[in-house]
Amino acid sequence: MTIAENEKEIIEDFALFSDWEDKYEYIISLGRELPLISDQYKTEDHLVRGCQSRVWLHADKKGDNIVFTADSDAIITKGIIAMLIKVLSDQPAAEVAKNDLKFIDTIGLKEHLSPNRSNGLVSMIEKMKLYAHAFSSGI
């Protein structure tokens, strides 16, 4: 599936939720399912520091594609990471680098990506794109 198809699927999933509780329960369940980052990458080098929750991110090359694994100490942060990974992981690095991730806004989770949400997500997305940019330009 392409990035756009993945985004569409998540947006459709979220359209089913009538209240915040269902929505967050779903995010929390995604967080629980997130493939954990391999312990060898759960290090300072891979840490994206947020003021409150912490995020670990690792990127691998698979042909022209980029594969992400990640973890967080907060479950909601982890759930949002799971969605980002679902959308962006194992996709062409060049596509990942230019994606603007509008789906987060569409499903009403924009506040988690605002600069005052010190959860590490904004920095994590920047880092994902940096990796993608580096991989696609062969750096």
For the window 13-52, what string marks contact with another protein as x by the rule CB under 8 A? -------xx--xx--x----------------------xx
Closest distance of CB 31 from another protein, Å: 9
Q: What does the alpha-carbon distance between residue 4 and residue 99 come to, in Å, rounded to a whole number?
A: 9
Nearer to another protein, 20 or 63 (CB): 20
Burial of 123 (0-12, 13-18, 19+ CB in 10 A): middle
Nearer to another protein, 29 or 38 (CB): 29
> Considering the rule CB under 8 A, would residue 69 count as an interface residue with another protein?
no
| List 49, 51, 52, 137, catalytic entry | 51
Instruction: Detail the DSSP E strand segments found in 12-133.
Output: 47-48, 55-62, 65-72, 91-92
Instruction: Detail the DSSP E strand segments found in the chain.
Output: 47-48, 55-62, 65-72, 91-92
Per the annotation, the verdict on 133 as an active-site residue is no
Contact set for another protein, span 70-109 (CB under 8 A): 73-77
Q: Would you state the structure tokens that stand for residue 32, as one six-digit string?
A: 């629980």
Q: What does the alpha-carbon distance between residue 21 and residue 113 come to, in Å, rounded to a whole number?
A: 19
Give the catalytic positions in this structure.
Answer: 51
Could you list the residues that contact another protein (CB under 8 A)?
20-21, 24-25, 28, 51-53, 73-77, 112, 118-119
